[in-house]
Amino acid sequence: MSLMMWLTWITSAIVDYFKSVWLALALPGPAALPLLGNVLLIKNIPELIRIGTNMSSLYKPFLRAWMFFVPIIVIYEPEHLKIVLNSTKVSEKNFFYRVMHTFIGDGLITSTGNKWKTNRRIIQPLFHINFLECYIQDFEAVCEQTIGSLNDQEVVQVTRIVNDSILKILHKTVLGENLLPGQETPFRRGELLIIKRVLRPWLLFDWIFKRTELFVKEQQQCGDLHEYVKNILIRRRLCNKRDRQLCLLNALIATSEENPQEFSQEDVINEAVTFMLAGQDSVGAILTFYLYYMAKHQQVQAKVYKEINQIAFHGSITIHQLHKMTYLEQCLKETLRLLPSVPILARHLIKDVTLSNYRIPKGTNVFISPFVTHRLPHVFTDPLKFNPERFSTENSKELHPYAFLPFSLGPRNCIGYKFAYFEMKIFIATFLRHFHVTLKDESEELKLSYRVTLRAKGGLFLKLQSRQRNNC
């Protein structure tokens, strides 16, 4: 880059920054501390939930926050979300995703520009409905194995059971490996270090982070994950192509072998690690929340079980039967509405946009919160109530297309959302077909924590009753 081009870029960036600052000063938001801004709020989950639940009445038309000296605009109205998310020409993922880059590499979650476009185009066909249908037997086999390990009248930590099942499903469907009971893998034993960095915002600056012990630990863990997948990949390449079973890793390997210049071995590893990590915490959290709501709302659970019983009382569950489980899916969507596992999305504007007569300049960091949007009282009546009827066919017709976005929306939405839906519906149908769930303590309220995904603080404990023995 020539000196003139560099100076032009720097000047443009400075101008964009001060435009964002000028706008931020005119917008409402929580009180900010000198230098720190609002970064301490990140650790105060109850306060964040309070602000999120009441944001539309506290801060209109959107919220301003400060991360040190960087202004952030939080938008939540569906029409605003449509403008920002509907085109890759308006926004791209911002600096928060760079935190994950050193950990999972240049995968779909972290990549931008042409790299993202190329990988998305290559990987998209692997999530076609015809491919997903082939995974259903694997989903169900793991779920049945989980059911077989549980006892009647037992109080169990549902979070651990769900997470263990999801990890086994992902090992089978993504990596093509059977995970044995108690078998150690870096995906099981790994400590999620990214959130430690996010909860200490000064570590978002690379020049500080790279001088910490946390950086050394992250590099070690990252190396373990990538080495684990690489060793599986090497074994697969030595196999006859005809002997390779259906799994995402094998499909990625085949794609790389056909076009190594466009999709390298490193790309295969990065994407496999990305899918393993992205599919683990988020799906586990959603299923935990779903079972909590079933235990809390017994009439709803009875209706879900009746539907499962009528459609798939015994035997393997088919994709056609899954499609018929409409009430089960309504409950799943209502769970995702109240407690989206990924409550925050982050974008960086690459062009000026107008939202509610405000001109938001390019370069502005925009945060999008499904958690807030899903609780807007003018979009969802009585928003704190668990009401699956919101997502009936009739009621869904009235919903703004950008009012419900648990897996984001637009061209950069979650590529694996259909995979996740099938996986979750199979687990729910299998679990509730065998067990009736109740709260350990009727007065117990769900407490939340944040670890990249929203989750049940301390895990969720439920009491199981075998439907076969108790006829319930």
∠ CA(8), CA(9), CA(11), 5° rounding? 65
Say yes or no to pLDDT of 96 above 80. no
Give the C-alpha separation, 189 to 353, whole Å: 44
Say what the pLDDT of residue 53 is. 72
What pLDDT was estimated at residue 218? 84
Whether the pLDDT of residue 1 is over 60: the answer is no
**Residue bearing tokens 């061209």:** 411
Confidence of residue 331 (pLDDT cuts 50, 70, 90): very high
Write the DSSP string, 357-411. Answer: TEEE-TT-EEEE-HHHHTT-TTTSSSTTS--GGGGSHHHHTTS-TTS--TT--ST
Q: How many CB atoms lie within 10 A of CB 242?
A: 5
For the annotated binding site for heme, the residues are 414
User: What CATH number is associated with residue 60?
Assistant: 1.10.630.10
Tell me the three state secondary structure of residue 58.
helix
**Greatest mean pLDDT range, 16-25, 315-324, 381-390:** 381-390
405: confidence class by pLDDT, cuts 50, 70, 90: very high
Residue 470 has what pLDDT?
A: 56
Q: Does residue 94 carry a pLDDT above 70?
A: no
State the average pLDDT for the chain: 85
pLDDT in tens, 410-453: 988 999 999 999 999 999 999 999 999 999 887 778 888 777 77
Whole-Å CA distances, 368 to 28, 49, 83, 424: 16, 14, 12, 25
Predicted local distance difference test score (pLDDT) of residue 190: 56
Beta-carbon-side half-sphere exposure of residue 274 (alpha carbons within 13 Å): 25
- Per residue in 97-153, pLDDT (tens digit) is 777 776 677 788 878 888 888 889 999 988 888 888 888 889 989 998 888 888 777
| Bind-site residues | 414
Number of domains in the chain: 1
* pLDDT confidence band for 89 (50 / 70 / 90): confident
pLDDT score, position 2: 67
Q: How far is CA 309 from the centre of its chain?
A: 30
Q: Is the pLDDT of residue 44 over 70?
A: no
Residue 35 binned pLDDT confidence (cut-offs 50, 70, 90): confident
Higher pLDDT, 151 or 386: 386
Q: What is the percentage of the chain residues whose pLDDT exceeds 70?
A: 92
* Cα angle 402-53-457, degrees, rounded to a multiple of 5: 105
Give me the domain span that covers residue 415.
3-470
Report pLDDT for 400.
Answer: 94
Q: Over the stretch 230-244, which tens digit does the pLDDT of each residue have?
A: 999 998 887 766 666
